[in-house]
């Protein structure tokens, strides 16, 4: 078990005076022959210490300044925002997947059929332009419009031989 004692101001002053001899100032000692040069090096070291302090060190130092209740509230807010963002991205991905697959399943066959209809209409227009019209304004003999039933033979003409597959 640990025993905690509170030190008074007099106890601290006495402790400082006793231990003052352990720590010496290097200026004016045998190591400092020029006097001020070593002292300026110490000032540079202090500047280097502050330059070496990172942003993370400064943020962790804020732990002593900001009360626990406010830190907890900020932490909860940030974690809620992160979770909401992740959920939103996940939902957006699922919606995008559903829309893209639905478009592929429904719109691609529709586009293919539309392209076939356009090609057929273009073919019919080209066929109509290449066929010369007969003098009576009708079709030439032996040429039938698309979708019209084909007659076996004209009256008074012999019928053409019928086509049958071999073996029948």
> What are 78-119's pLDDT values in tens digits?
999 999 999 999 999 999 999 999 999 999 999 999 999 999
Instruction: State pLDDT tens for residues 107-116.
Output: 999 999 999 9
pTM (two decimals): 0.37
Do 153 and 159 form a contact (C-beta atoms < 8 A)?
yes
pLDDT reading at 43 higher than 60: no
Mean pLDDT of 124-135: 77
* The pLDDT value given to residue 104: 93
Residue 117's pLDDT is: 95
């Amino acid at each position: 078990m640990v025993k905690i004692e509170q030190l008074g101001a007099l106890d601290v002053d006495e402790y400082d005076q006793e231990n003052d001899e352990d720590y010496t100032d290097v200026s004016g000692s045998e190591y400092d022959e020029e006097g001020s040069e070593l002292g300026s090096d110490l000032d540079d070291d202090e500047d280097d210490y502050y330059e070496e302090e990172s942003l993370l060190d400064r943020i962790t130092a804020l732990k002593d300044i900001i009360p626990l209740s406010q830190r907890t509230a900020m932490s909860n807010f940030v974690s809620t925002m992160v979770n909401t963002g992740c959920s939103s991205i996940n939902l957006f991905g699922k919606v995008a997947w559903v829309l893209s697959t639905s478009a592929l399943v429904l719109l691609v066959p529709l586009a293919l059929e539309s392209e076939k209809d356009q090609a057929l209409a273009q073919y019919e227009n080209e066929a109509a332009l290449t066929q010369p019209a007969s003098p009576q304004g009708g079709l030439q003999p032996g040429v039938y419009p698309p979708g019209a039933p084909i007659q076996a033979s004209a009256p008074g003409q012999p019928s053409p031989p019928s086509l049958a597959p071999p073996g029948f």
